[in-house]
Amino acid sequence: MEHQLFCCEVDTIRRAYQDSNLLNDRVLQTMLKAEEIYLPSPK
């Protein structure tokens, strides 16, 4: 049997929108750079 996700909610009010500030490349690169700083270092 295949696993499937079902959404039974019928709420049609849109509660989340795409944030144009988070979708541009500059913000993505900054977030990736910040993530690299906090990666665990191999010992």
> Band of the pLDDT at 11, cuts 50, 70, 90?
low
More confident residue, 36 or 10: 36
- The predicted model gives 32-43 an average pLDDT of 85
The tens digit of pLDDT for each residue in 15-35 reads 778 887 777 788 888 888 999
pTM of the model: 0.40
What's the whole-number average pLDDT of the chain?
Answer: 79
Q: What is the maximum span of the chain, computed from C-alpha positions, in angstroms? A: 51
- How far, in Å, CA of 35 to CA of 13, rounded? 34
